[in-house]
Chains A and B, each alone.
Chain A
């Protein structure tokens, strides 16, 4: 077991259940467990096991970060710029410092400082205060006097591209990093507010378009979407002489620990990060954030714990967003449908930040010898964007999947037939087949064929997302002398059910009930787990959970073997007992075997092995599996051509996540992805006032989200797709389920009304304008 070099060969199930299940032989590390059979042969994995924390959540007992109260805790507030662009000439914090409730004051903007002396968006942090109550903090913030010199600003993507537009950044403030999770290469040119392009090229697009019999070309736009996590960004920082403890609503406890250690010059062993209940992140809680850093600074200064919870306006303006884009897509094809060239030129804006690309969707989804992509970031005076559920791919899919449908129509081909010709993925092929049957695709009529005022239509779109893995992912399994079991990791559960699938992986190995396993996660005192982003948590943490359980079981088997007078290799664990294989009469209870352990606790820690089949790409602590995660979604819509209202009546989502660990939780997540995609397609939009630079709908009633009454029937179908790549062979689902929805609805709207909607959101006004019934709002 200790010998890392040792390996053995094992035979794994391979293929898609229902299509063809075969076998694949893999060379695996000797200390990894034996292959897991398909779900049909398992007791716990693949079953709709109830969440381990369900009871706590329905009774209100779950402690979220906003619920954390520490003795002597102070309340922090942040003073924010009312102007979208201004030089901070002076800040006077004296009166705030003397407020009777104030305990600490920190300046964020420093007059004269090249990096911080200018605020570049309305809502940017200027200073922060910690006080004995939130009311006192607000009073103290109001006592801070800031002398602003207003500067010219621009908050519109198109206007910002004008070389004469006011520059958002200067040399000192230009962002170097990329917060979106879709990195642009370093060293790209900057001209005015335009950064880039990041160019990707294959073959010769000029020659490709020359070979095309048919071409389509269009300008597609996506709006800025905000994350709207129901739990606001929240932190309680407790700075003490012996170390820093931070409670934070985060998607990555271990990552935040690193950030804190680096920001404050502390060793990792003096920083602890904790999250229990976590009220949603969707990409926006991936890192420490300004508010987290400020809470720690205020706590250090005040010598007391400091809580900062953003209010909804702060959430909407300074907690990240999905960048808006404008994309010019051109596709060329021969008569038979084969693609000759694709080109995508995109301009996106993540406000003052980078990361407004449109992903690798157009480059990778369909077979095409000639491709050219040029992606630009455009700076505007607005809050920074950040990763949001399938960053880039959601925007890219909106344009590409509608372009492909347009091409199919020009070729007089069924959109599914064209995709069958162009898409090499066997996964999506099966998904298209299943989905088409469910939605009754054969009944799809010609565009705009309905005669009444309410016109119905069906559309399809596909998704592409890499199967991501973080190998810096560890998990501990403990068996106690009373037979009780705990699984521990710093990994957090942001609502996806991570703790539950970990318990399932452990329970399957040990032959005990998953409900009996104590799930201890969300604390960096436990072995370092993966982040909950990139749809990689399940792929990264369930294999080490199973592996650690298997290693502990070998210890237990040695005890049980001597009691049962059997070799450890002859034993199996099932139904709460340890049984001699082939001789079920010889067995002992799991707890009885545990009672013979040499120590009160026996534990094993395992980390995520590389995919057994090898990664397609390895990047630092992570890798991409050989196979992407495919998804296909179908939408059925009704468009009222008199009111312009688009109603989504049904969505069929057929998805792949490798081995499904918990079908009920997966269904929940896919429904959520579909609803977020539908909400993006029809309702959501961050609106900035071009005259003041401020957001005019920074709340939850004018920033419109899909609710229960807009929710369509959603059919979720999940493939079982085995690759033999890890101890569980499970991958993620959060992001793939969010990519295809909007373009599927867009294609369905086209099928309904015969007019292509290229801009989001498809509001009633936009639909009526597209139908020529009202003037366009621009």
Chain B
């Protein structure tokens, strides 16, 4: 907007009607029509039917809706879909390679790092980003990576154990 003003051009006004955008989701361009107020979480769950991403509080307080934007974990309820632009979006549905689970997903099953499973997709996304960026994390690294995630079932100890095991598996 600042750039537009500096150039003496009125910024384009979008909405309140729908706007056509294209999101790159799990490696595939997806065209959709959304109102500008639509969050990324709503766009994924609604028009794109990718309901693995969960909404828990819808205001960035629980991290259940965590997806990757260009590889970085973000709360998708705090990002407007029209602001995503060309950045790549990775959701829980895009983490496994075909039938082969991501090591963090496999470790979550093995270590029972889930109970009701509602916070699990978000947890998995944060832990998978951690082991990618830091192949030898400590337990404190994992706790820190999931410190914004709320799990009422109390899976934190098993999430830490699973993520550490997955990181070890990565090395092997």
Q: Which residues of A contact B (CB under 8 A)?
A: 48, 50-51, 53-64, 66-67, 69, 135, 227-232, 277-280, 282, 311-312, 494-497, 664-665, 667-669, 671-676, 699-701, 705, 707-709, 711, 714
Contacts and interface: CB of A to CB of B under 8 A. Distances in A.
Contact of B57 (A278, A312, A496, A665): A312
B64 interface: yes
Contacts, number: 172
B156 A60 contact: no
Most-contacted residue by chain B among A56, A673, A701 (CB, 10 A):
A701
Chain B interface size band reads 35 or more
Given A705-B150, A708-B159, A711-B143, A66 B54 contact: yes
Contacts of A58: 92, 101, 105-106, 108-109, 114, 117, 120-121, 124
Contacts of A496: 115
Interface in B154-171: 154-160
B153 to A, nearest CB: 5
A56 B147 CA distance: 24
Contact of B62 (A54, A69, A700): A700
A605 B49 CA distance: 37
A282 B151 CA distance: 13
A280 B152 contact: yes
Majority DSSP secondary structure for residues of B touching A: loop
Nearest to B42: A134
B112 A63 contact: no
Given A54-B108, A59-B96, A669-B115, A229 B152 contact: yes
Given A57-B120, A58-B124, A699-B59, A667 B112 contact: yes
B109 A230 contact: no
B99 to A, nearest CB: 10
B39 to A, nearest CB: 12
B151 A230 contact: yes
Contact of B117 (A228, A277, A707): A277
Interface of B: 35, 37, 45, 49-62, 64, 91-93, 95-96, 101, 105-106, 108-110, 112, 114-121, 124, 142-144, 146-160
B11 to A, nearest CB: 24
A55 B121 contact: no
Most-contacted residue by chain A among B53, B55, B142, B146 (CB, 10 A):
B55
A230 B119 contact: yes
A58 B155 CA distance: 13
Contacts of B91: 60
24 contacts: A48-B112, A50-B109, A51-B114, A58-B101, A58-B114, A59-B92, A60-B50, A62-B117, A66-B54, A135-B37, A230-B116, A230-B119, A280-B152, A312-B58, A496-B115, A664-B112, A665-B112, A671-B154, A699-B57, A700-B61, A701-B57, A701-B60, A709-B143, A711-B157
Contacts of A711: 143, 154, 156-157
A70 B161 CA distance: 39
Nearest to A666: B112
A591 B150 CA distance: 45
Contacts of B119: 230
B153 A60 contact: no
Nearest to B155: A668
Given A230-B54, A699-B57, A708-B147, A672 B118 contact: no
B158 A55 contact: no
A668 B151 CA distance: 12
A59 B101 contact: yes
A222 B52 CA distance: 37
A775 B96 CA distance: 55
A230 B57 CA distance: 8
B114 A675 contact: no
A672 B158 CA distance: 10
Nearest to A493: B116
B124 to A, nearest CB: 6
Given A700-B62, A708-B146, A709-B144, A668 B115 contact: yes
A227 B124 CA distance: 23
Nearest to A311: B58
